[in-house]
A and B are shown apart, each in its own frame.
Chain A
């Protein structure tokens, strides 16, 4: 009855000699919050790029929001998918401020030949208020700290009014306080808008407690999946990462939101 928002069947993605995804199949229901964990090089980011049409399948099929990805419709689908990547190094002299950067999220849906309306600028201001960046709206984007930059990226994805929210290690390379703020924000957004969310991380301490399902990836494959309670066990994680893993207990940051 409830069609999956994302359906991937036997997906293979290859970058020259390296096979990044090997026969991955999965389904995601509308409104689900899924955590994707695994060691570096497991294929987590590649899986997200398949969903937003930036990763090219050499085999298999993917359906997103009811459409089979075929290279021609990906640009239209991306307008409905919010994507937040890791903190990137950007030129501090870049001639664009935080408010303009967030507005970029509207441009895909707005289409060519249309200028942003006053109502859209108002939405941008409201979202900036929500993510706590209203006071930095006029600041050059290159002058933000890592945590502030990620909040701006989340705001940009939000003004896109996405049906799917893809978060690729959004808390990597930022300090613990900023990590907690970002995670709280992500969970608040999911609670408020019920957006289908896929959250990729290799750091178990940054896994939001709203995760309903965990996908464990290793060597380009889905190694295991299930409820967080069944997956977050020391023996499972030790096998996944190939090294002894103890569950984070310190302040239990993952589960106390």
Chain B
């Protein structure tokens, strides 16, 4: 009954500054995570993204432990992990799964090491773990907005190169597109996006927001432009619906956002036109 009252009429919560900030953070994080998610999903590099997310988390914890800005630590660690994984996976010296797995486990180990070495209460560290979209400040939102603008601008400018690289990387290289630079640009964009969203969504949950909306959009269209638009819509809806669920049901916001995005993915998969068998009609047997 309380829920019905709240959903039916009570929008007074929107007057609060923290909620306005959360809505803006959800908008920008939803857009930027979904856009880089489309690249990661189309290139089948989901695990690389998971690894980069954990590296960002470890870097942020190092910042907290040593007393410098956690976002700088997150950015450096996530860029470094992308710079290590990319060439190792590319050169084929190790199986990509093996190399990514090793870097992933190293980052996880470092994260727990830094957390263990941190003196005093671990509240701030745990916030980076789970995210705290309801406590983001003006500075976080400006950072997120700038990153969203930069990534959106880069995608608009280099759309044709990005499309060629994520769909046909070897072909892109063979026709003279700077495919390697574009590929690393996409990995570094993922790193920067994860860093910018770390505070609001959290190191553990951020990757779901990158993967789920893009994976849901992947089920619904064969057009990259439409996939980007659908993924962005799903990402923003996940953030806002998750926020609403968090407020109405009094549950953690990061978890609510991720669960919402997973539900959207489930629905998209169930309703995917790509799963349907087209153009087949049963022909009755003669005689």
A residues near B, CB below 8 A?
A: 52, 54, 75-79, 81, 83, 85, 88, 91-97, 100-101, 104-105, 107-110, 112-113, 115-116, 140-141, 153, 156, 160
Contacts and interface: CB of A to CB of B under 8 A. Distances in A.
Nearest to B168: A104
Interface in B163-192: 163-164, 167-168, 170-178
B262 interface: no
B172 A104 contact: yes
A160 to B, nearest CB: 6
Nearest to A91: B44
Given A101-B168, A112-B158, A96 B163 contact: yes
Interface stretch (B70-78, B99-107, B139-147, B220-228): B220-228
A107 B222 contact: no
B175 A107 contact: yes
A95 B174 contact: no
A109 B176 CA distance: 8
A140 B222 contact: yes
Interface string B41-81: 01010000000000000000000000000000000000000
B218 A93 contact: yes
A107 B173 contact: no
Contacts of B158: 112
Given A108-B175, A108-B177, 18 more contacts: A54-B173, A76-B176, A78-B173, A78-B175, A79-B175, A85-B170, A94-B222, A95-B223, A95-B226, A95-B227, A96-B167, A96-B168, A101-B168, A107-B164, A108-B176, A110-B160, A116-B160, A156-B171
B285 interface: no
A112 B163 contact: no
Contacts, number: 78
**Contact-residue bracket for chain B:** 20 to 34
Contacts of A113: 157
Contact of B222 (A79, A88, A95, A109): A95
B176 A79 contact: yes
Contacts of A91: 44
A83 B218 contact: no
Contacts of A97: 222-223
21 contacts: A75-B176, A78-B173, A78-B176, A79-B175, A81-B174, A93-B219, A94-B42, A94-B167, A95-B167, A95-B222, A95-B224, A96-B168, A96-B222, A96-B224, A97-B223, A104-B175, A104-B177, A107-B160, A107-B175, A112-B158, A112-B178
Nearest to A100: B163
A116 B274 CA distance: 29
Nearest to B42: A95
A91 B219 CA distance: 12
Given A93-B274, A101-B168, A112 B42 contact: no
Nearest to A110: B160
